[in-house]
Structure 1
């Protein structure tokens, strides 16, 4: 929201034979290293991408409550008012807690549409995904996304992970094909 760009770059985790099997996410703010988070998080990202796509569908349970597809996100699992869709921290247990975080929560907002002093208006309720990243230096960045933008971001991450050698094809085939580069602006 401050004009910065945050690149979220999947980096392959490899087994003893050097074969990629999962990813860790490198965070880069305006091209500079910002942290590394989410060790072995690719399958979780693929599962979330599938849940977001299902929530956006016109026949989903979310469609009845949220007519605008941009407001449709997976139903909260814990009943929280602002549920978390993901929260990734530093990648190794030995890292300091300040080496990076990437978090996505759902926020609901409402605005009165119509004149303030009349009963002829209505409430416009909207949901958005808020992605926050915190770097090793303690600075943070934030992006607010619609459900289609979140779906595109997750699909981009999965596509980049596949290029890095970690395939989630079994889940990726269920999600729309993305454009390259997972970037938030």
Structure 2
């Protein structure tokens, strides 16, 4: 009992302190923050977004695809404190960074998604896993030739790997995506 860290209580009420924090860390106005919060609480009345609900939401946006694998990795990126749920602050800061942040910030979030092992590097296996999950998400079934996830991952690593270690570090990933719009659209479609 004494070893467990106390979880911060999740309130469904938005405090002035939270609004100030979110205004400071996002580009949202107070009104926009309140609107996002109302929608979040409507979808998650207890103030917590769990993996099951996260998947349900993604499935609404990608009805023709299989969202399970992609959501597993995306959820972990949003759940900054690794407590198994996404609270409103984690949600809005992640939404803001991935949709309104500058290009470098958005590409860094994409890097975090691909870095499944959290070791600061993306290897071919991780890249193949996420490319496969992205194909599943959008319902892409043609995976032959250049669309084969394993081949595509190998080609991307070869193209972006400046250090020659057959892995991509954050700088290589970000720079490569910034310099190649086709690659950016593939690896970070919402950027």
With normalisation by structure 1, the TM-score equals: 0.24
Q: Which has the higher strand share?
A: 1
With normalisation by structure 2, the TM-score equals: 0.23
Structure showing greater relative contact order (alpha-carbon pairs closer than 8 Å, 6 or more residues apart): 1
